[in-house]
Amino acid sequence: MNAEVLHGSCHCGAVRFEVRTAPTPASRCNCSLCRRKGALMSPPFAAAELTIKTGEADLTLYQFNTQVAKHYFCKHCGIYPFHQTRKDPRLWRVNLGCIDGVDVYALEAGINDGASLSVVEDA
Ligand SMILES: [Zn+2]
């Protein structure tokens, strides 16, 4: 799919963002964090493609294991809208479930082998 401007938000609406990316190919990741949150992610895109419209101060950062990837969550509703990737910190992905007009249950999803990127066991 071609890149387009997608509009997204967390559940409570504190965090609103726009991103220019193709929504597919979508993927899921098998690392210990993604396994728990179960989100369907966009393809990776450059940081400059993401604009946080509101709620930057409502985000909280979670890091684990190698401390490279930056996983952002809304402080209020707990929803994960996007993260900076471990594989290439210049790249980000968004949670397609946060994007207006995207039916995540209608998309095919590949699996990212995030588990094998970890240098610490069981990550
Ligand atoms: Zn929220």
Structural domains for the chain: 4-117 (2.170.150.70)
In this predicted model, what pLDDT tens digit does every residue of 62-102 receive, in sequence order?
A: 998 888 889 999 999 999 999 999 888 899 999 999 999 99
Judged on CB neighbours under 10 Å (0-12, 13-18, 19+), 84 is: buried
- How many angstroms separate the alpha carbon of residue 76 from the centre of ligand 1? 5
- How many angstroms separate the alpha carbon of residue 10 from the centre of ligand 1? 5
- Calculate Rg over the CA atoms of the chain: 14
- Which of 54, 1, 60, 63 lies closest to 26, judged by CA? 1
Q: Are 95 and 110 contacting, i.e. CB atoms less than 8 angstroms apart?
A: no
- How many angstroms separate the alpha carbon of residue 32 from the centre of ligand 1? 23
Residue 66's pLDDT is: 87
- How many angstroms separate the alpha carbon of residue 61 from the centre of ligand 1? 13
In this predicted model, what pLDDT tens digit does every residue of 39-63 receive, in sequence order?
A: 999 999 999 999 999 999 999 999 9
- How many angstroms separate the alpha carbon of residue 80 from the centre of ligand 1? 9
Calpha distance 34→109 (Å, rounded): 14
Dihedral sign from CA coordinates of 91, 96, 101, 102 = positive
Q: Examine the pLDDT at 36 and tell me if it is beyond 70.
A: yes
Residue 112's pLDDT is: 83
In this predicted model, what pLDDT tens digit does every residue of 12-29 receive, in sequence order?
A: 999 999 999 999 999 998
Residue with the bigger pLDDT between 71 and 117: it is 71
Calpha distance 117→98 (Å, rounded): 26
- How many angstroms separate the alpha carbon of residue 119 from the centre of ligand 1? 31
